[in-house]
Structure 1
Amino acid sequence: MISNWQNLDFSKPNHCIRLATCFSGIGAIEQAFKRLNLKHKIIFAGDIDPKVKQSYFANYKIKNEDWHEDINLFNAKKYKNEVDLLVGGSPCQAFSAVGKRLGLDDDRGKLFFEFVRILKECEPKVFIFENVKGILTHQNGKTWRFLKSHLLELGYDIHEAVLNSKDYGIPQNRERLFCIGFKEKTNFSFPEPIKLEHIMYDFLEDYIDTKYFLKEKGIKFVTSSWNRKKHYTQINGDIALCQKRNQQFNWHGDLIYHPLKTSNDFDEFVFEVKDVEEKYYLSEKVAKYVLSAGTKNFKTSTKTDLDIARPLLTSMHKMHRAGVDNYVTHKGRIRRLTPRECLRLMGFRDDFKIVVSDTSMYQQAGNSIVVDVLIAILKKIDISKYGVENA
């Protein structure tokens, strides 16, 4: 049975929602509006990371004067009564269970009050605040009660819930607190979970650059009994682990195993360490060429793992030229997720332009909000009724 919120239509589909964001990242709420084909105008946005600005400006329309880099210096008073929806998720490391949990003693934790200040200055009709669920249990709940009291003092009708991405169409186990405030008293309930129709495999790319495959040291680490016992890594999981901003720098998280096509036994290969130097593997480009059906001038049926080798060429520069050399498969390969795959698991479609390094893109994807969860919330809110006819 399809959940009610999936069937909901926006009551004012032609209205334009004036959108503003703090700690904007790569624009999850902007992606949600884009995927919903809702008219919207970005009133202001900002982030302290210059690499984030590169990604944001490559993907969204915004004037440079409406972008803020240091939220502590940003004055939102000039936008009063010009914002329909304000969205923000202040840095979560101060409250995360995997961090030191310094909370409000951490400068990043104090940024919540900047969000409250901006909320007070621009007075949006609706706001969405997102953070790790650990903020609810920090200091036995005292921290969240204290923070929530500041939102209530502004007169907003507050609703809060922890939502998991895997309950809203994305195969990622990512639980986050969503706090929604309405300027007027509102009969609101959070979107109901839906059946997960996809697994992580459905979000993978077809062709992968060899740089994403692990070398021997990485394979030994991620397949160690300690890592598997602690569940810090998983290989070929159906539901991704929670994506993190630092996954570029360690081997914890999701790994993908590419088995030999001739093998039907996953366990036979997955924990073996390859003992052939990287340089002896075919690059993606060469592999696609030599295993192809041939060209109009040359027809061949190239095979791997021959029982009897073809004659060896004496000239190295002729190797792979005709596509009739000897090739062997070897123990399968293990790789990390690519930046594009991480974006897909955050709900970003492939038209999102990647204009920064892999390192930055991993960070930006891991810091974002899952777009599909926001889509469910926007539909349940019926955000269109808070928009304006002419904007």
Structure 2
Amino acid sequence: FTFLGKHYARLPFAIVWANEINVAACRTYRRNFQKEIICGNVWDVMESMPQADVLIGGFPCQDISINGKGAGIQGQRSSLYKAMVEAIKLVKPSIFVAENVKGLLMRHNRASLLKILDDFNTLGYNTTYDLYNSADYEVPQTRERVFIVGTTQEAGTFTPPPPVLAKDQWITAQAALADLEALEANPEINHIWSRANRSSDQGNRHLDANKPGYTIRAECHGNIQYHYNIPRRISMREAARIQSFPDEFIFEAKLR
């Protein structure tokens, strides 16, 4: 596939099972991957998981997020990491990857992090974690996320990938979005934008043309960032570009 004029090779893996609880996300998955996905609560469908070499998951982060309420893994949403523990027990992958927010590394979440690592280690995996900034890896967005990687003894030790770009080489918002500026609104390619008034909620910042985009949050409530050059909020397509989605990736969701 191609992103910002550069060609990338797809990883040599075949997806054998996928799950999501959000109906719109399931429709989007089916449209873009031409594969089936089980739509529903993971606890209700877990028994259908087949054996696999790699298991990838991201448990909800709202209770751990810097912008969240700080409930930690005892919170209703973030405690779903336990579902990933159970999934690993069932699937028995050689490698697993778990993603979460930077807030997991904050001092008040230290006990939560240690509990998560201990639960994964108890399953017999060599577990490591690192903080990554997506801008270091050719994504025009400064998104910092923690990736926990577990490997079996047979799989060997995981080596974190080094950054591809130095900070002064980061892809800017203007470099990623400039060719979309002259386009009229077009729902067929998700080039539509929220007309929500400015508020004191999260978001509402203007992109800096000379820096990568800010983190695109899971729940914007219409308060997504403003364009660096045009007097409007960024479109769904522009938000997708910032997150490195190819332009042919279409979202089956309504604009909020």
TM-score (norm 2): 0.82
Give structure 1 stretches of 5+ with no counterpart: 1-33, 259-333, 360-391
Aligned pair partner of 1:201 in 163, 174, 193:
174
Contact 2:103/2:109, CA 8 A, preserved across alignment: no
Aligned pairs for 1:1-391 (under 5 A) are: 35-63=8-36, 67-76=38-47, 79=50, 82-137=51-106, 139-184=108-153, 186-195=156-165, 196-204=169-177, 205-206=180-181, 207-209=183-185, 212=193, 218=198, 233-237=205-209, 238-250=211-223, 253-258=225-230, 334-359=231-256
Deviation digits for residues 160-195 of structure 1, max 9, x if unmatched?
100001111112111100011111262332111122
Distance 2:59 2:194 in 1: 34
What is the match of residue 3 of structure 2?
A: none
Contact 2:59/2:100, CA 8 A, preserved across alignment: yes
Give structure 2 stretches of 5+ with no counterpart: 1-6, 187-191
Structure 1 residues 109 and 214 mapped into 2: Cα distance closer, same or farther (>3 Å)?
A: closer
Distance 2:41 2:219 in 1: 22
**What amino acid sits opposite 1:74 in the alignment?**
V
Distance 1:62 1:213 in 2: 30
Contact 2:64/2:109, CA 8 A, preserved across alignment: no
Distance 1:88 1:182 in 2: 15
Distance 2:122 2:52 in 1: 19
SS of the aligned residue for 2:14 comes to strand
Distance 1:97 1:349 in 2: 29
Deviation digits for residues 241-269 of structure 1, max 9, x if unmatched?
11112324225x343323xxxxxxxxxxx
Normalized per residue, which structure has more helix? 1
Structure 1 residues 83 and 68 mapped into 2: Cα distance closer, same or farther (>3 Å)?
A: farther
Structure 1 residues 63 and 244 mapped into 2: Cα distance closer, same or farther (>3 Å)?
A: closer
Contact 1:84/1:126, CA 8 A, preserved across alignment: yes
SS of the aligned residue for 2:164 comes to coil
Structure 1 runs of 4+ aligned residues shifted over 4 Å read: none
Question: How many residues in Structure 1 have an aligned counterpart in Structure 2?
Answer: 237
RMSD (Å) for aligned C-alpha atoms: 2.7
SS of the aligned residue for 2:110 comes to helix
Distance 2:65 2:13 in 1: 32
- Sequence identity, in percent? 24
TM-score (norm 1): 0.55
**What amino acid sits opposite 1:123 in the alignment?**
K
Report how far residue 339 of structure 1 moved: 0.7
Contact 2:149/2:158, CA 8 A, preserved across alignment: no
SS of the aligned residue for 1:158 comes to strand
Distance 1:231 1:40 in 2: 36
Distance 2:29 2:49 in 1: 22
Structure 1 residues 84 and 61 mapped into 2: Cα distance closer, same or farther (>3 Å)?
A: farther
Report how far residue 358 of structure 1 moved: 2.3
Between 1 and 2, higher relative CO (CA 8 Å, sep ≥ 6) is seen in 1
**What amino acid sits opposite 1:179 in the alignment?**
I
Report how far residue 35 of structure 1 moved: 4.4
Deviation digits for residues 101-129 of structure 1, max 9, x if unmatched?
11233211110000110011111111110
Report how far residue 38 of structure 1 moved: 3.3
Report how far residue 133 of structure 1 moved: 1.4
Structure 1 residues 78 and 351 mapped into 2: Cα distance closer, same or farther (>3 Å)?
A: closer
Report how far residue 214 of structure 1 moved: 5.7
